[in-house]
Amino acid sequence: MAQAKYTTHLGMVDILPDEVRKWQFLENLIREEAATFNFEEIRTPIMEQTELIVRGLGQLTDIVSKEIFSFSRGEDNYVLRPELTAPVVRAFVEHHLDQRGGSQKLFYIGPMFRAERPQKGRQRQFHQFGLEVLGSSDAVADVEVIAFMIHIYNKIGIKNTTLKLNSIGDPDSREKYKEALKAHLKPNFEKLSEISKKRYEKNPLRILDSKEEEDQPFIKNAPVITDYLNEDSLAHYAKVKEYLTDLNIQFEEDPYLVRGMDYYTQTAFELISPDLGAQDALAGGGRYDLLVEEIGGQPTPAVGFAAGMERLLIACEELGIELGSEKKVDVYIVTLGDAARKWGLSQLPKLREKGVSATMDYMGRSMKAQMKDANRENAQYTIIVGENELNEGRFTFRNMKESEESSLSFEEILDKLL
Ligand code: HAM
């Protein structure tokens, strides 16, 4: 086969029809389950103002400093959204969603963009589904968000997962911890990686998330944040753990779990799968009680998570879980001659309006080739029409699976199909 002259951009992937069926299955499942949890869908644009993302996620995060797709038009600077928490908060503030009353329970499905080095489970355009709850500081909200996340994987049959849990406290607790962490790292400052040196002053917590080899010995025996949580933070964390236990949701505490964005406060979590290889995070999230205010809204506590859909599909493949059904059509009308072809074309709407999926040959092929095509399309039935059938008003109706045929009028065929 000749090589295509034009191809997708690095790390961006076409989703072809056989794959799309799996995506549709997954999207339907997420929508149905979100409805059972009483979450409403929100859709925001693919582009956001650069400043929103920089402010929301933090200047020194990997995403903002290295992975953003940005461009400008006139005076305006935009980015392709790398995630949806900051955009959802922007929409919440812009449209005064708090005035709808209660806590806003929102979900989303859609593409995100990060200019990372592509590898298995890591793309530059990838898809997430996620939830955001705005307006509740109660641990019930944290636990409902986590419960939904686990519920989706359980429904699909991905059960071999680990929920990692941490609390990174409120800003007060975190300040104290930052000082302790800096004091611990200081004697070895010169041995830290360049990026960690940069983060040392402004955001030392991110050093805990470093993948650089030279940082590992100093991360390993660093002080743990949970020793620095104040009373309120400890109480919130204790409630989250208590409610998770009530729901029989198992978790593993990981005091070094810090997430990739600066907006997090209190609860932080990740769902890890051993079936994924290097990119083992299926999903992640946490609380972000200060983000709404940071973006210009009234103080509003919030919590959410997002999951990588490609990674979910990879896990399904590894586990042999089949999503969605195979390609098929109810009826294929096989025609011989012009008059039969014209008849076939005019019967298609009659089948479709009864909810029967129907197709016919578009290429003027021989009858044998049409039967082959009907098999390829996985047609359940064929209606075979030639001149004789037209004259008699009776058609060959063939059950393709059972290889059974009968001669019926079109009305009798409709009766059989319904
Ligand atoms: P995140 O951990 O950056 O969190 O992304 C969530 C999930 O998206 C990851 O666990 C992973 O499965 C998937 N993901 C991230 N980057 C890529 C990539 N380059 N290719 C494929 N999959 C990827 C967030 O985005 C937060 N907004 C989650 C959140 C919601 N926190 C609070 N609310």
CATH number of the domain residue 22 falls in: 3.30.930.10
Distance 48 CA to ligand 1 centre (A): 17
Grouping H, G, I as helix, E, B as strand and the rest as coil, residue 413 is: helix
> How much is the pTM?
0.94
Q: Is pLDDT of 62 > 90?
A: no
Is residue 377 in a domain?
yes
User: Beta-carbon neighbour count of residue 40 at 10 Å?
Assistant: 11
Which of residues 318, 351, 382 is at a domain's end? 318
User: Beta-carbon neighbour count of residue 357 at 10 Å?
Assistant: 14
For residue range 77-108, list pLDDT tens digits in order: 999 999 999 999 999 999 999 999 999 999 99
User: Is the domain of 236 the same as that of 311?
Assistant: yes
| Percent of all residues in the chain with a pLDDT value above 70, rounded to a whole number | 100
Which of residues 256, 285, 318 is at a domain's end? 318
User: Is the domain of 242 the same as that of 134?
Assistant: yes
Is residue 223 in a domain?
no
For residue range 287-320, list pLDDT tens digits in order: 999 999 999 999 999 999 999 999 999 999 999 9
The DSSP output letter for 157 is T
Q: How confident is the model at residue 199 (pLDDT cuts 50, 70, 90)?
A: confident
- Work out the mean pLDDT of the chain and round it to a whole number: 95
User: Is the domain of 257 the same as that of 130?
Assistant: yes
Is residue 84 in a domain?
yes
User: Is the domain of 257 the same as that of 381?
Assistant: no
Residue 325: per-residue pLDDT: 84
Residue 341: per-residue pLDDT: 97
Q: What is the mean pLDDT of residues 367-377?
A: 97
- What are the distances in angstroms from CA 290 to CA 175, 177, 235, 287? 15, 18, 18, 9
Pairing of strands 379-385, 329-335: parallel
Is residue 5 in a domain?
no
- What are the distances in angstroms from CA 383 to CA 124, 364, 379, 406? 46, 16, 10, 10
- Whether 106 lines ligand 1, by a CB cut-off of 6 Å, is no
Domain count, the chain: 2
Owning domain of residue 52 = 17-170+230-318
Which of residues 293, 318, 343 is at a domain's end? 318
Q: What are phi and psi of 301, to 5 degrees?
A: -70, 150
Is residue 157 in a domain?
yes
Q: Is pLDDT of 279 > 90?
A: no
Distance 32 CA to ligand 1 centre (A): 22
* Residue bearing the CA closest to ligand 1, atom 11: 308
* Residue bearing the CA closest to ligand 1, atom 8: 308
Q: What's the maximum distance between 2 C-alpha atoms anywhere in the chain? A: 96
Q: Where are the beta strands (DSSP E) in 26-159?
A: 40-41, 47-49, 70-73, 76-80, 104-113, 125-134
User: Is the domain of 30 the same as that of 154?
Assistant: yes
